Structure 1
Amino acid sequence: MDSACNDLFKDDYIFRMTDDTGMFQHSKYALPDPNHGYTTDDNARALIMALMLYERYGKEKYLDLVYRYATFLLSAQTRNGKFRNFMRYDRNWLEKEGSEDCFGRCLWALGFALSHPCTPKGVKESLSYIMQKAMPHVSALHFLRSKAYSILGLASLESDDAKRIVSETAESLCSQYDGCKDGEWKWFEDTVTYCNHVLPWSLIEAYKVTGKDKFLQTAEESLDFLSKVTFREGYFKPVGCNGWFVKGKTPAEFDEQPVEACEGVFTYLATYEATGSRSYLQKAKQCYEWYRGFNSKKTSLIDSESGGCYDGLKENGLNRNIGAESLVSYVMAFLKISSIAGEETN
């Protein structure tokens, strides 16, 4: 593997950002900020990260994190099977029900953990209980990304019911895509916004489950369109969250978000595995290198002191806060790209 695997991984900041409740949402520079409490979004992704860490290094301290983040999801689920998202520092929830995106990310984490060989049996039994309560709500989802994250989770399961829901939900994504694509515009909406890679990625996973060529074709066509938008200068440059990319206009330059690079890594690797095309493998590596300074500002987003990841690239440089989403995104991307160390490089 290239230099991406030669990083000296530091986990200090993961434990600094995690207390006995879960992972804090935000920081003020390198200090966790209790004023913003916790989110289920972050703890769901942190559960995936913790399992990846435990699989990679086999240390009990990472298994402890698995229990902690999984417990947060159990606490977040409502009686009807949905999830609350925002929790105050005093452990009081701020809402009766969270967003559909939060719901989808929870299913992604649940499916990942249920299918992971390192998840303890007792934890799997608990997470299976949570998943069974949540699954009936998937068919009523409205938003694209919530559907896509749900597909990621359910595609990991072996049950016929999960496979049926994956197929039906992927069909709805394809219908949305067919209704929006137009000429050179090959996308699911008239705006390219946040967490974009999860849309084609979910269709790749649906293709693996169902074998339906339509899912693969739509995934590749939309991902190739997104690649033209985000690799304009020869390096990865995600669409900025300060304005997005509206059809017929110019993509926003900033702020660039770490979550986009992480999901780019996972998406391009999944597409490489499905197609064998090495161009996707190369793009996965470029997405990871974005963290290390191969980006529009030629600036590393990794805090060498703590091992954390800064919250993004702004027009005037780094956003020097180190929040949960950025931290977890970087660690997941590092672990995922490191897992292909046996592949040929450039």
Structure 2
Amino acid sequence: MKNSGLNLPDDTYIFRITDCTGMFQHAVFSVPDPSEGYTTDDNARALIMAEMLYQDSGDKKYLELAYCYLRFLLYAENDGWFRNFMDYSRNFLEKRGSPDCFGRCIWALGFTITCQEMPEPMRSAAECLLRRTLPSCKGLAFLRSKAYAAIGLSHWDHAEAQDEARHLVSDIADAYQKNRSKDWYWYENNLSYCNAVLPGAMLVAYDMTKENKYLEIAVESLDFLLKSTFRGNIFHPIGCNGWLFKGKEAAEYDQQPVEACGTLLTCLKAFQVTGKQVYLDRAQGCLNWYTGQNSLGESMIDPESGGCLDGIRQVGQNPNEGAESIVSWMVAALAFRRVS
């Protein structure tokens, strides 16, 4: 435990947007909106954030946050899967959440069980939840859900989990080989959302297996993604209103904070694996997107609340400050400070 909390990013908004149930999904400006309820997706990522804060500070207030978010995941699990949308009265609105939600939960649980700073009973609870949900990994059909799950399972020193992680990354590599072509080095025929998790999973696959094919795919696809999302030193995430399809121009808007975080994490992993400075520089560019080095030239961080604005639209910034945005900013800032 580093106990270096003086340099941590402002945590004010985290406590505003979290109640005794979990982290609210949305906000109206900087006021959390109970009418929109909660999502397991957000609370899974918030669990990683809280654990990183506790690792870096040792402050018990972050440990209590982690307990809150893990408790949410325990309640969300249903018959080996995770429900996602919950209303303010703690009623889940569906029997099964999305595959992406499931994958992010596996990611968060895998991170938790290897986080040695967390109390052993908490890590044991996370492992119990992983044991209940591991069989469902075999039914994942979408690449991003496979990538998140593979990253989570790679943390778990468990033979069946390691086997399943290898199966998942093999599927992702197969998709890359099927879709890769001249001037298009990607896993699908478009770049859409949370793109960086795919080369991120290939870097993890290389760590697990030491098979060079995974490193080659990771570097080639990550370089393609960075070429598609950087103009000079400015990060331009693929806009969600149109994405980027093969042979077409990338959509400029809306740019979302989750993309800067995901790309930063994969760039840091690539820097760790390859030692190439360019990846650390690109991670810095992703972090700078939050603080004003973006297409608007304006900071995405609200100096009054400590929250993060929800994105960049054609008409300017989205002034709302939801869960995904603040978690993305915090995780990005915490991850980068560990290498800076």
Q: TM-score, normalised by structure 1?
A: 0.95
Q: Report the secondary structure of 2:312's partner residue.
A: strand
Q: How does 1:112-151 map to 2 (within 5 A)?
A: 112-151=111-150
What CA distance in whole angstroms lies between the structure 1 residues aligned with 2:309 and 2:181? 37
Matched, 1:89 2:103: no
Matched, 1:216 2:215: yes
Once the two structures are overlaid, the 10-residue window that deviates more, 160-169 or 213-222, is 160-169
Deviations for 1:127-162, whole angstroms, at most 9, x for unmatched residues?
Answer: 111000111111221000000000110111122222
Q: How does 1:106-185 map to 2 (within 5 A)?
A: 106-185=105-184
Query: How far 1:120 sits from its partner (Å)?
Result: 1.1
Q: Is the 8 A contact 2:233 2:285 kept in 1?
A: no
What CA distance in whole angstroms lies between the structure 1 residues aligned with 2:75 and 2:247? 44
What CA distance in whole angstroms lies between the structure 2 residues aligned with 1:164 and 1:117? 23
Deviations for 1:202-257, whole angstroms, at most 9, x for unmatched residues?
Answer: 11011101111111111111101101100134311100001100111100001110
- 2:337 alignment partner AA: S
What CA distance in whole angstroms lies between the structure 1 residues aligned with 2:142 and 2:194? 13
Matched, 1:207 2:206: yes
1:323 matched residue in structure 2:
322
1:246 matched residue in structure 2:
245
Q: Aligned pair in 2 of structure 1 residues 130, 8: CA closer, same or farther (>3 Å)?
A: closer
Q: Is the 8 A contact 2:300 2:308 kept in 1?
A: yes
Query: How far 1:12 sits from its partner (Å)?
Result: 1.0
What CA distance in whole angstroms lies between the structure 2 residues aligned with 1:250 and 1:6? 43
What CA distance in whole angstroms lies between the structure 1 residues aligned with 2:307 and 2:199? 28
Matched, 1:261 2:260: yes
1:344 matched residue in structure 2:
none
Q: Aligned pair in 2 of structure 1 residues 317, 300: CA closer, same or farther (>3 Å)?
A: same
Q: How does 1:28-107 map to 2 (within 5 A)?
A: 28-78=28-78, 80-107=79-106
1:278 matched residue in structure 2:
277
Q: Report the secondary structure of 1:318's partner residue.
A: strand
Q: Is the 8 A contact 1:11 1:306 kept in 2?
A: no
Q: Is the 8 A contact 1:163 1:210 kept in 2?
A: no
What CA distance in whole angstroms lies between the structure 2 residues aligned with 1:192 and 1:8? 33
Q: Report the secondary structure of 2:231's partner residue.
A: coil
CA-based RMSD: 1.3
Deviations for 1:74-102, whole angstroms, at most 9, x for unmatched residues?
Answer: 00000x21000000000000000000000
- 2:53 alignment partner AA: L
Q: Report the secondary structure of 1:239's partner residue.
A: coil
Q: Report the secondary structure of 1:332's partner residue.
A: helix
2:311 matched residue in structure 1:
312
Q: Report the secondary structure of 1:64's partner residue.
A: helix
Which consecutive unaligned segments of at least 5 residues does structure 2 have?
Answer: none
- 1:82 alignment partner AA: W
Q: Is the 8 A contact 2:8 2:334 kept in 1?
A: no
Once the two structures are overlaid, the 10-residue window that deviates more, 190-199 or 225-234, is 225-234
What CA distance in whole angstroms lies between the structure 2 residues aligned with 1:187 and 1:26? 32
Once the two structures are overlaid, the 10-residue window that deviates more, 17-26 or 227-236, is 227-236
2:13 matched residue in structure 1:
13
Length, aligned pairs only:
336
Which consecutive unaligned segments of at least 5 residues does structure 1 have?
Answer: 342-346
What CA distance in whole angstroms lies between the structure 2 residues aligned with 1:236 and 1:214? 28
Deviations for 1:16-58, whole angstroms, at most 9, x for unmatched residues?
Answer: 0000000000000000000110000000000000000011111
Once the two structures are overlaid, the 10-residue window that deviates more, 131-140 or 108-117, is 131-140
Query: How far 1:6 sits from its partner (Å)?
Result: 10
Once the two structures are overlaid, the 10-residue window that deviates more, 158-167 or 40-49, is 158-167
Query: How far 1:8 sits from its partner (Å)?
Result: 6.9
Deviations for 1:175-196, whole angstroms, at most 9, x for unmatched residues?
Answer: 1111111110011111100000
What CA distance in whole angstroms lies between the structure 2 residues aligned with 1:330 and 1:88? 25
What CA distance in whole angstroms lies between the structure 2 residues aligned with 1:322 and 1:118? 30
Q: Is the 8 A contact 2:191 2:243 kept in 1?
A: yes
What CA distance in whole angstroms lies between the structure 2 residues aligned with 1:287 and 1:9? 16
State the percentage of identical aligned residues: 48
Query: How far 1:14 sits from its partner (Å)?
Result: 0.3
What CA distance in whole angstroms lies between the structure 2 residues aligned with 1:137 and 1:324? 27
What CA distance in whole angstroms lies between the structure 1 residues aligned with 2:40 and 2:205? 25
What CA distance in whole angstroms lies between the structure 1 residues aligned with 2:85 and 2:22? 12
What CA distance in whole angstroms lies between the structure 2 residues aligned with 1:316 and 1:6? 36
- 1:162 alignment partner AA: A
